[in-house]
Amino acid sequence: MVTISKRHPNVDRPLIDYETTLLMEPFALVGSVLGVFFNVAFPEYISKLSLSLSLSLSLSLSLSLSDTHCLFLLFSIDMFGYPVVRYCI
């Protein structure tokens, strides 16, 4: 509500791009509903496994599309039991 009246500093338009917001919001809502459903329906280890696989897939795609190449990926578990991916850039 604070940024609703603010304008872009360089172009005469609102600061918020409402067309992009209209495109992104339904997907965010569907993702939230599916995430809650899968969190309730499946055990915790399946949720952690699927999250770590999706993270590693997105990481490998972003590294393969970038100009920099990484020599190693280090997968570990943090103190709360969540998977952590550390990589070089």
Model pLDDT for residues 5-35, shown as the tens digit of each residue: 777 777 777 777 788 888 889 999 999 999 8
What confidence score (pLDDT) does residue 73 get?
Answer: 57
- Read off the pTM: 0.49
Residue boundaries of the structural domains of the chain: 18-87
CA angle 77, 83, 85 (to 5 degrees): 95
**Which two tokens mark 49?**
């496994």
Q: Is the pLDDT assigned to residue 68 strictly greater than 60?
A: no
Residue 1 DSSP SS3: coil
Name 74's bridge partners.
86
